[in-house]
Structure 1
């Protein structure tokens, strides 16, 4: 049986002090994917990012490229230039743009659900007024009443007739204005 020393003081990486080839390749591919996201952005959004002039021009060139192979090569070049860019700052800004729209969508869904509740339930207005004490009660009651009438009229329409949505939309805008006014404070 061979004699195996039990020296566990040495690190398990066998003396390597830099990333493996596999890790370098993963990092490179990650930067290329980030470069692809940059190519899909509008010019206005690109200008808001911390890009060097050469990287900005390379991305704009990729956006103008129509051939498949040319685009592939240009994206590789963008990925190469990304090695010298502040990738974390770019990722952070892209994440803010992406998640910001999700938050706005969720807020719109909450407003829509509240509108439906106000139209169906008289007690919902009391809850809304508790949440927004400065709200114009008379205006909201008028909009709710008009939206209910509009819903009844729309329910009686024949197939092919367009439903009216004027008061329905006005109620949504009133709730949205209440929501926006509290967010600004």
Structure 2
């Protein structure tokens, strides 16, 4: 029986079985991190001092050596606070907060793209009011090219490029909260 001793009030700590389960969870997390592509890993809140160990585990191909390196990585990860490990797990979780924010950003960019194509200069003026650092001429040109592609049934190159520009603009802008509030007004 673990927890607090009823007679002396002394904290006894988690059982060995619980410690082992936690260590195996961290080992599984280390294996998951080692299997990620570098782009996916860059999006996670992984501490800088763990990145060389992850890169080394990715580089090793021998089964036993890789297993040993993963155990070494897990050892370093167990030294981290639970908050850091929880943040990494949340970043990996498809339903986590980071994934929800990314999805919301993509939806806002999609709505802005459709507004730019449907409403034209009125929507562009509103977008530029929220994000004054945007390149007006480039956005207008991409919207014009995307409309032309639609008319001629051409591949949607400018349509995709317009989306990327808007996504980058919304992702770096300080007006993200205003976009969320506006999206809530539109949706609800």
TM-score range, shorter chain: 0.5 to 0.7
Gaps of 5+ in 1: 1-9, 155-162
Change beyond 3 A, Cα 1:40–1:26: same
Partner residue of 1:18 out of 1, 13, 20: 13
Q: Highest Rg: 1 or 2? A: 1
CA distance in 2, matches of 1:139, 1:31: 47
Gaps of 5+ in 2: 176-188
Number of aligned residues:
161
Instruction: Provide TM-score, normalisation by structure 2.
Output: 0.53
Written as runs of structure 1 = structure 2, the 5 A alignment for 1:27-106 is 27-40=22-35, 49-51=48-50, 56=53, 60=56, 63-67=59-63, 70=64, 73-74=67-68, 77-78=71-72, 81-82=75-76, 85-86=79-80, 88=82, 91=85, 94=88, 98=92, 103-104=101-102, 106=104
Instruction: Provide TM-score, normalisation by structure 1.
Output: 0.54
**8 Å Cα contact 2:31-2:70 kept in structure 1:** no
CA distance in 2, matches of 1:116, 1:23: 52
CA distance in 2, matches of 1:176, 1:43: 21
Greater RCO (Cα-Cα under 8 Å, separation 6 or more)? 1
Q: CA RMSD in A?
A: 4.8
TM-superposed deviation, 1:25: 1.9
**8 Å Cα contact 1:119-1:144 kept in structure 2:** yes
TM-superposed deviation, 1:151: 0.9
